[in-house]
Structure 1
């Protein structure tokens, strides 16, 4: 008899131990009995029926991060690029996340890839750089609607990098360099014009303006030839200082005549 009672005691203790399930904070678990869903276990101490009940899935309900690898896409103006993103999401309903979709994380990733290609395909290349906020908002809204039946909440979507194809990137850099060069040329031309105006005003008040003009031109001529000689791609260049002086003198006389005409 004592052996029977001891065996029963051991079975009882084993039953009690097997029936107690502790779920950690931030997690939930699904229980099936004989293959059918019966309950969702919350954080804390829970009880199940040993041998009949089975915990089929225990998962966190905290917010998590899903990295989306670089994805090839084509813009509205037929430019190839790669874009990647980060998705912040969490499970609201563990039961639906398990039974409504086979692999919820993989499903979210596939959705993001499809929607990202679609959004970029509606924009031109320049718009993708300046419109990241709009892309993020559009993806968030579409993902939130698509994942709601799965018991999932997408809280945030962030586009990390948008990188054009190497040839496109090289073309953009060349275009930027040409823009900078053009701007520098405009500034130099404006500076030269301002210098000529000031020189013209100064020479008008000089009785020996022609000699001063010749000296300045000669100085400019020497400086220009010195810089040309230092250049690794220098070439022999013949310039006529006299012709330059005459041309500038004519320009100065014309300017003086115009000023006198305005005063009359």
Structure 2
């Protein structure tokens, strides 16, 4: 009876020693007598006790690598402080264990070095404007190296690019100057458009008055009234101005003014004919 109990206990111990449970999202590597044997998938797996040994169990889920602020220099010799985030995943656990010693440290060093190389190819202005393209270039270059480590880089985000304080002040002053310049340009264009519309309105008004005078010569008195009204309004506005000056106009010049207006509306020949007829 005792040998049977001993055999049962040995079988139970063997079963417990050979059964290995791998959690979902993980994989494990098994070595037999010091050499790679096989890979264990999620779920219940069995190995040979004493001969087989699990040397590594790691996740195949997406992981995040935080790149701490690094001092880099641009093509135009501006020192920047840059940090970022790398999203990566183990695609081949066998390579990630046997091809590289410290995977996390290797990824950090590789990302930092590649980031410095890419920023060194751009000026400060290009670095601020082309962050998306730098992320793409960084992603492509990292994957070229990490593929042999059994790692896939999913996404790279450059989080912040911080120039020195003196450079930031210069950039702020430049942006303020650009905003002010655009505002002045818009204001000048607005004044120009208003002047054009006013001139077009004046031209249209003169055309209407000219047509009215041609069709109805008796409307000359109306024109005299309009001119006198504009003269009074202009004098009133001039009197309100702080820099107003009093100007005396010879009343006898009124006829010359009307002749000038008539010349503009009727034409020089009509005015001359009127003068010849009156003499």
Which of the five TM-score ranges fits, normalised by the shorter chain?
A: 0.7 to 0.9
Paired positions, count: 223
Trace 1:153-164 onto structure 2 (pairs within 5 A): 153-164=152-163
Q: Pick from 203, 207, 215: which aligns with 2:231?
A: 207
Q: For residue 96 of structure 1, what is the aligned residue in structure 2? A: 95
TM-score, normalised via structure 1 length: 0.73
Q: For residue 173 of structure 2, what is the aligned residue in structure 1? A: 174
* Matching of residue 217 in structure 1 with residue 216 in structure 2: no
Q: For residue 83 of structure 2, what is the aligned residue in structure 1? A: 84
SS across alignment from 1:29: strand
Q: Following the alignment from structure 2 to structure 1, what is the Cα–Cα distance between the partners of residues 183 and 239?
A: 28
Trace 1:73-152 onto structure 2 (pairs within 5 A): 73-152=72-151
Query: 1:107-157 CA distances to partner (integer Å, 9 max, x unpaired)?
Result: 112111111111111111121122122111111111111111111111222
Q: For residue 225 of structure 1, what is the aligned residue in structure 2? A: none
Structure-2 change in CA distance of 1:196 and 1:38 (3 Å): closer
TM-score, normalised via structure 2 length: 0.69
Superposition deviation, residue 71 in structure 1: 1.9
Q: Following the alignment from structure 1 to structure 2, what is the Cα–Cα distance between the partners of residues 153 and 164?
A: 31
Q: Following the alignment from structure 1 to structure 2, what is the Cα–Cα distance between the partners of residues 174 and 159?
A: 25
Q: For residue 223 of structure 1, what is the aligned residue in structure 2? A: none
**Which region of structure 1 is more displaced relative to structure 2, 181-190 or 32-41?**
181-190
Q: Following the alignment from structure 2 to structure 1, what is the Cα–Cα distance between the partners of residues 68 and 188?
A: 49
Q: For residue 5 of structure 1, what is the aligned residue in structure 2? A: 4
Structure-2 change in CA distance of 1:99 and 1:169 (3 Å): same
SS across alignment from 1:207: helix
Q: Following the alignment from structure 1 to structure 2, what is the Cα–Cα distance between the partners of residues 130 and 57?
A: 44
SS across alignment from 2:231: coil
Q: Which runs of 5+ in 1 are unaligned?
A: 219-240, 247-259
**RMSD, aligned CA:** 3.1
Q: For residue 231 of structure 1, what is the aligned residue in structure 2? A: none
